């Protein structure tokens, strides 16, 4: 499950059969609709920026845990200081359902809101974004599944992440659960990206280590999948590699001490950079297989990504060994001289997989799907859902449903 700062591009359609890969012959676009403001205490800038838009009524969307921790207070105080009336809506839940978005919209309309400010993780930002879309478009929400399906620009939206992973504060994608169908669907458009993202490291200090681990692995997955995507560009590749460096160098420190400001800020910014990258490239098989794990078994998105990541990387290494070697080096692995020692390019590529597995062990990511209560009987149905993902088409290695089943079984 985001990455992100001000950078997005309309995902290209799936590559046609026989199309050249990374030939440079097809025009490429890099787009960044979101303005990004960073730095300690920047949450206090929300009020002045809302006032510049002429807003007098602002709904703040968050979740119960974030509210109990008092995190939205600085944002609400900033809005009040700017003379703006606020409504705090804190009913957001993990893997938000269509019904939750509809309830949020009802509260927003009854309040007479003119701007939405999301303070939270990916779920809060997704709910806020979907609400902003429905505020100006008739719906139903799922009728906008896909790319650029809603006609009208959403109500303005600001986003302040309180985790270090999704990059939803800059991405043009919204993921919502259709509970009846047990399916997570995606709505995408440059118009869906928040207007302004505020990256305030003070909002992520003290995260529980398990949350830091899961959300940072989500961000690392974004960066790795963006780098190996068939839609990658020189711009997105530079961003993705920098995100891999920042996240892999700081995640252990941040999990060990979530009050380490430098490490938490590096993860927050690294996640944002990864979001800029994948907003322009989409992702791959990891996210395609992770979404059904959330829809069927309510496994947190970051944990689902982390579990599937090394298995997909090992599967993909055959198709993009040089890129895997780049990833290994960005994670601090030494591959110099391996060819002289009789090691193949593929062997060197697998150093990236080993680096990810060691990292996940160190930060306490569960090793197997069975340990999280996943019933093996559900694998064929999850694989069928995974194959509906547009991410399958731009994974570096062509993938069949039987190979998706094998990936699940390996992770199980």
The ranges assigned to domains in the chain are 35-203, 209-411
8 pLDDT above the threshold of 60: no
Q: What per-residue confidence (pLDDT) applies to 280?
A: 87
57-61 and 35-38 strand pairing: unpaired
More confident residue, 319 or 30: 319
Q: What per-residue confidence (pLDDT) applies to 349?
A: 86
> CA 174, CA 234: separation in Å to the nearest integer?
26
Give the mean pLDDT of 37-48.
94
The pLDDT mean for the chain works out to 87
Q: For residue range 219-256, what is the model confidence (pLDDT) as tens digits? A: 999 999 999 999 999 999 999 999 999 999 999 999 99
Paired residues of 183 in beta bridges: 178
216 pLDDT above the threshold of 50: yes
CATH number among 2.40.110.10, 3.40.50.1970, 3.40.50.2300, 3.90.1150.10, domain 35-203: 3.40.50.1970
* Topology agreement, domain 35-203 and domain 209-411: no
Q: Given CATH 1.20.1090.10, say whether it is the number of domain 209-411.
A: yes
Cβ contacts of 11 within 8 Å, gap of 6 or more: 147, 188, 231, 280, 281, 282, 390
Cis peptide before 406 (omega within 30 of 0): no
Give helix then strand counts, H and E, for the chain.
Answer: 14, 9
Q: What per-residue confidence (pLDDT) applies to 175?
A: 87
């Amino acid at each position: 499950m985001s990455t992100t700062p001000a950078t997005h591009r309309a995902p290209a359609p799936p590559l046609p059969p026989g199309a050249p890969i990374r030939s440079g012959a097809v025009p490429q676009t890099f787009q960044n609709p979101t303005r990004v403001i960073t730095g300690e205490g920047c949450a206090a800038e929300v009020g002045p920026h809302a006032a510049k838009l002429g807003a007098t009524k602002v709904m703040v969307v968050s979740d119960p845990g974030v509210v109990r921790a008092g995190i939205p207070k600085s944002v609400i105080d900033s809005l009040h200081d700017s003379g703006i009336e606020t409504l705090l809506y804190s009913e957001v839940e993990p893997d938000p359902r269509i019904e939750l978005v509809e309830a949020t919209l009802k509260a927003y309309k009854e309040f007479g809101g003119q701007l939405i400010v999301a303070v939270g993780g990916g779920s809060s930002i997704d709910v806020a974004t979907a609400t902003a879309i429905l505020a100006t478009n008739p719906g139903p929400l799922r009728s906008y599944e896909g790319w650029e399906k809603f006609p009208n620009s959403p109500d303005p939206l600001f986003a302040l992440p309180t985790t270090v992973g999704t990059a939803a504060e800059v991405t043009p994608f919204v993921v919502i659960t259709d509970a009846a169908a047990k399916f997570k669907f995606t709505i995408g458009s440059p118009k869906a990206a928040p207007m302004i993202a505020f990256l305030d490291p003070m909002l992520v200090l003290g995260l529980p280590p398990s949350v830091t681990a899961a959300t940072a692995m989500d961000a690392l997955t974004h960066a790795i999948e963006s780098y190996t995507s068939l839609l990658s560009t020189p711009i997105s590749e530079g961003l993705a590699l920098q995100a891999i460096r920042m996240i892999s160098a700081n995640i252990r420190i941040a999990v060990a001490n979530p009050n380490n400001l430098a490490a938490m800020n590096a993860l927050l910014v690294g996640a944002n950079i990864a979001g800029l990258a994948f907003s322009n490239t989409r992702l791959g098989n990891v996210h395609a297989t992770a979404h059904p794990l959330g829809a069927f078994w309510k496994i947190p998105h970051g944990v689902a990504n982390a579990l599937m990541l090394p298995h997909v990387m090992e599967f993909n290494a055959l198709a993009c060994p040089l890129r895997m070697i780049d990833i290994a080096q960005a994670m601090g692995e030494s591959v110099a001289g391996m060819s002289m020692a009789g090691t193949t390019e593929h062997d060197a590529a697998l150093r990236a997989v080993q680096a990810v597995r060691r990292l996940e062990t160190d930060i306490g990511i569960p090793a197997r799907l069975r340990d999280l209560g996943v019933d093996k009987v559900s694998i064929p149905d999850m694989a069928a859902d995974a194959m509906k993902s547009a991410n399958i088409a731009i994974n570096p290695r062509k993938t069949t449903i039987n190979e998706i089943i094998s990936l699940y079984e390996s992770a199980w």
